[in-house]
Amino acid sequence: MDEPAVRGSGELQPPSTPLLDELEEGRWPSFVAELKRAARRAPAAADLLGQLERSYADNTGHWKRGGIVGVRGYGGGVVGRYSAMPDDFPAVKEFHTLRVNQPAGFFYTTEKLRQLCDVWDRYGSGLLNLHGSTGDIILLGTTTENLQPCFDALGEIGFDLGGSGSALRTISCCVGAARCEFACFDTMDVTHSLTTHFQGEIHRPSFPYKFKIKCSGCPNDCAAASARSDLAIIGLWRDGIEIDQEAVREYVRGGLNLFERVLRRCPTWALAWDENEQELRVDSEECVHCMHCINQMPKALRVGRRRGAAIMIGGKAPVVKGAMLGWVLVPFVELKPPYDELKDLVVRITDFWAEHGKSRERVAELIDRIGLPAFLDGIGLKPSPQMVAAPRSNPYLFWDDDEVVKHA
Amino acid sequence: MPRTDFGPPDYREMIPPIVRDNYGRWRYHTIPRPGVLEHVSDTGAVLTSVRMASPRLVSTDWVRAVCELADKFCDGHLRFTTRHNVEFLVSDPSRVEPLLDELEARGELVGGVGPGISNVVHTQGWIHCKSAVTDASGLVKCIMDELYDYFTGKIAVPARLRIAVACCVNMCGACHCSDIAVVGIHRTVPRVNHEMVSKSCEIPSTVASCPTGAIRPNPKLKSVEIIPEKCMYCGNCAAVCPAIDIMDPANDGLSIWVGGKVSNARTAPKFSRLAIPYLPNHPPRWPEVTEAVKHLVEVWRDRAKPGERMGEWIDRVGWERFFQLSGIPFTDKHIDDFTHATTTFRCTTQFRF
């Protein structure tokens, strides 16, 4: 690659920003300091500072709405953005974002990150989010003209675009088996495998609305999958937790108040301390795999051996019908490469939703509209009691023709 | 035709050797000091992760500086967390102290592990979003300038406390399940530019976009009209039709929500609930919001039992006591009247006075 063209001498003067300057004070790392660093080299970053200062002065944003831009062969991955004040801030007249699909688990070599910086210094503002809420690397701010060459250069260093619009969005996950003993499945491998398998669905929007998938390796749900993904894959085990009794005793000797901190916080009172034997007992039938005891004593307690995941459906933010948390769709599934069962389920869900969903209707809202029984029937899943907090309390049941006696 | 659909870099080429060799074999972890995790593998290998605060919106200079540190102390490997912190992955124990020293010398904050306040998940704000009521990055900076001692572990707290900021009710970061969420809100009915509707909007989809049926076609004007009594200012119509404007700097503001969580530990995941319906949007330092968040942290910190998240504490003491203890007035705004409202009404005489 040629020397980056936009990575200038660093001699540009950032604009005067008395309001934003106040955000360089204080102990927390300052994004304004970052904007100024970038502004010393990139005119777009300088004008972003100027426009942001204006927003701080008049309490409103100054971006236009609308504007579709992209790169060849893709229907998404780029968010078009135009300044509403192009005369005052010409360098952000076009200030588009590229959503760049992160490696699973957000692991990087410094070599890879530097290559990314080189591309972005050459073609963009030099500003980025590590990472956006969905998981992508967000490259903030480039021109329409630079989009294609930037994408081509990203491709040369092995970075592809993520999702935007009514598409499968970039999949993300917790660190999982790479660095966590709680992982009940390989979150990073599932994420990578689904991502490579569903490239078409990510890059060419063909759904009623966005569809997000996130993987968390255990019920602690560090990826916040159940709150912010339409399909949350949350690690779970079916058998009992494993106990290292000597390590339990070590925690107790070390001052852990076993009763206060662990036993009485167990949601099902599945744990008991055997005073005579000085051993912790677990009633595995009662355990609901909440992780609390394991979180408190990671050295002594481990997730069980029969590991897999629960699949939750429908998590989303408020627009349109209100926020939803994911509902249990599959109480337990083993997840082994190549994850065909999971991929097939994703296809059944998105096919059914694409057929029956209205425009801008998330899958949770479709289920809310047609009912969970109809949805289960549509994707070929059988009902199970884990799906409900409680069975229905009203008497308005639907019966199919083959469930009642036909009159002549 | 350029190459397409090749996907992201393979994580197997990004992970450090110690992670590759101990993948799926980690046995337990400890937190030897705030901001530091020590994972021990079945093989006996020990990986130390040092977690550093990030502003999330960074320059390439920042990335290069972080890379320099990772080269010096971690053989060129690092990762980011789901809450946007940096993690330096140190496989050589003798390099941990020098790394911590260097981070301190650079003025970086190390923390965000275990009980305490980690980085704030947030949305894009005025930096890049067309529908932002406020600037998330600025709010986060101001809130964490007040609360960083909870990040670094200098002030102890009963449990994890997760904060999120969303610039409008779209809540892109899905902050609706946070211990404390700050959400930008509108309070006035959007204005329709009738002339522009006919040119730039599809009327049926604009009508259909309204969750409360507050929009009807106006055939005379070839436009739409909004029934003010039905509108709850969600802005969905404005997202569908650029001729509808919901921005109202004089009235837009911030709301504060409490008690959500996503973890299944002990109790089920739960939504954050409305605590403060409206605070003014006052950049650049947002004193009202910052003070309110700090106050809520302290009310919880001083009363919750060890291990009790904000929502678990409130469930135990009751919402009536939450409002009493926090001094936040309970108003008509706090009673839900949207889609799932009736599920939030109390059906028992079990309450406190």
Query: Using the beta-carbon criterion (under 8 Å), do A81 and B80 form an inter-chain contact?
Result: no
User: What pLDDT score was predicted for residue A8?
Assistant: 56
Altogether, the residues listed in chain A come to a count of 408
| Closest alpha carbon within chain B to A199 | B5
Cα distance between residue A60 and residue B132, in whole Å: 8
Cα distance between residue B24 and residue B21, in whole Å: 9
Task: Please give the DSSP secondary-structure letter assigned to residue A65.
Answer: S
Domains and CATH numbers, chain B: 11-105 (3.30.70.3340), 116-187+249-344 (3.30.413.10), 191-245 (3.30.70.20)
Q: How far is CA A82 from CA A65, A70, A162, A283, in A?
A: 8, 14, 21, 60
User: What pLDDT score was predicted for residue A5?
Assistant: 45
User: What pLDDT score was predicted for residue A321?
Assistant: 85
CB–CB of B27/A181 below 8 Å? yes
CB–CB of A120/A42 below 8 Å? no
Residues of B in contact with A266 (CB under 8 A): 266
Nearest to A196 among B7, B62, B240 (CB): B7
Please report the residues numbered 92 through 111 in chain A whose beta carbons come closer than 8 angstroms to any beta carbon of chain B.
95, 97, 101-111
Q: Give residue-wise pLDDT tens across range B300-336.
A: 999 999 999 999 999 999 999 999 999 999 999 999 9
Nearest to A106 among B3, B79, B126 (CB): B79
Cα distance between residue A184 and residue A242, in whole Å: 13
Residues ≥6 apart with Cβ < 8 Å to A210: A163, A165, A166, A167, A169, A230, A362
Domains and CATH numbers, chain A: 30-164 (3.30.70.2500), 172-237+308-387 (3.30.413.10), 242-302 (3.30.70.20)
Q: Is the pLDDT of residue B246 over 50?
A: yes
Nearest to B265 among A151, A226, A290 (CB): A290
Interface test with A, best of B113, B149, B262, B294 (most A CBs within 10 A): B262
Query: Using the beta-carbon criterion (under 8 Å), do B285 and A95 form an inter-chain contact?
Result: no
Q: How far is CA B311 from CA A69, A207, A327, B300, in A?
A: 43, 35, 20, 10
CB–CB of B242/A66 below 8 Å? yes
Closest to A12 (Cα-Cα) out of A64, A49, A55, A63:
A49
Closest to A23 (Cα-Cα) out of B123, B141, B124, B135:
B141
Helices (H), B87-135: 96-105
pLDDT-above-90 percentage for chain B: 96
Q: How far is B8 from chain A (nearest CA, A)?
A: 5
Q: Is the pLDDT of residue B233 over 50?
A: yes
Cα distance between residue A26 and residue B157, in whole Å: 22
- Give the number of beta-carbon pairs within 8 Å between A and B: 365
Altogether, the residues listed in chain B come to a count of 353
User: What pLDDT score was predicted for residue B173?
Assistant: 73
Q: What is the pTM of this model?
A: 0.96
Q: Is the pLDDT of residue B346 over 60?
A: yes
Cα distance between residue A80 and residue B242, in whole Å: 14
* Range with the poorest average pLDDT among A65-69, B151-155, B198-202, B259-263: A65-69
Cα distance between residue B50 and residue B33, in whole Å: 10
A89-94: long-range pairs with CB below 8 Å, 24+: A89/A47, A89/A48, A89/A50, A89/A51, A90/A47, A91/A42, A91/A43, A91/A44, A91/A46, A91/A47, A91/A48, A92/A44, A92/A47, A92/A48, A92/A51, A92/A141, A93/A143, A94/A69, A94/A142, A94/A143, A94/A144
Residues of B in contact with A298 (CB under 8 A): 28-30
The b-or-e profile of B100-109 (16+ CB within 10 A means b, else e) is beebeeeebb
User: What pLDDT score was predicted for residue A11?
Assistant: 81
Cα distance between residue B286 and residue B277, in whole Å: 16
Cis peptide before A103 (omega within 30 of 0): no
Q: Which residues pair with residue B46 across a beta bridge?
A: B40
| Closest alpha carbon within chain B to A323 | B176
CB–CB of A249/A278 below 8 Å? yes
Cα distance between residue A324 and residue A230, in whole Å: 9
Burial of A274 (0-12, 13-18, 19+ CB in 10 A): exposed
User: What pLDDT score was predicted for residue A322?
Assistant: 87
Burial of B45 (0-12, 13-18, 19+ CB in 10 A): middle
Please report the residues numbered 367 through 386 in chain A whose beta carbons come closer than 8 angstroms to any beta carbon of chain B.
none
> Using CA of residue B94, residue B99, residue B104, residue B110, what is the dihedral sign?
negative
Q: Which residue has the tokens 């989010």?
A: A129
Residues of A in contact with B199 (CB under 8 A): none
The whole-number average pLDDT for the span B240-246 is 94
Residues of A in contact with B73 (CB under 8 A): none
Q: Supply the ipTM of this predicted assembly.
A: 0.96
Side-chain-facing half-sphere of B340: CA atoms under 13 Å: 12
Residues of B in contact with A55 (CB under 8 A): 126, 135, 283
| Closest alpha carbon within chain B to A225 | B262
Digit-by-digit pLDDT tens for chain A (408 residues) are 444 444 556 788 899 999 999 999 999 999 999 999 999 999 999 999 999 999 999 999 999 987 789 999 999 999 999 999 999 999 999 999 999 999 999 999 999 999 999 999 999 999 999 999 999 999 999 999 999 999 999 999 999 999 999 999 999 999 999 999 999 999 999 999 999 999 999 999 999 999 999 999 999 999 999 999 999 999 999 999 999 999 999 999 999 999 999 999 999 999 999 999 999 999 999 999 999 999 999 999 999 999 999 999 999 998 888 899 999 999 999 999 999 999 999 999 999 999 999 999 999 999 999 999 999 999 999 999 999 999 999 999 999 999 999 998
Nearest to B266 among A181, A292, A315 (CB): A292
Nearest to B2 among A31, A73, A112 (CB): A73
Interface test with B, best of A106, A161, A171, A260 (most B CBs within 10 A): A106
Nearest to B141 among A19, A28, A219 (CB): A28
Q: Which residue has the tokens 């619009």?
A: A165
Cα distance between residue B234 and residue B212, in whole Å: 10
Query: Using the beta-carbon criterion (under 8 Å), do A228 and B59 form an inter-chain contact?
Result: no
Residues ≥6 apart with Cβ < 8 Å to B2: A72, A73, A151, A152, A155
Q: How far is A158 from chain B (nearest CA, A)?
A: 6
Query: Using the beta-carbon criterion (under 8 Å), do A155 and B171 form an inter-chain contact?
Result: no
User: Sheet of B273-280: strands edge to edge?
Assistant: B121-122, B163-166, B180-185, B253-258, B273-280
Q: How far is B95 from chain A (nearest CA, A)?
A: 18
Q: How many CB atoms lie within 10 A of CB A347?
A: 14
Please report the residues numbered 296 through 355 in chain A whose beta carbons come closer than 8 angstroms to any beta carbon of chain B.
296, 298-299, 302, 315-323, 325
Residues of A in contact with B307 (CB under 8 A): 261, 265, 292, 296
Nearest to B247 among A38, A60, A325 (CB): A60
Interface test with A, best of B4, B10, B54, B60 (most A CBs within 10 A): B60
CB–CB of A375/A352 below 8 Å? yes
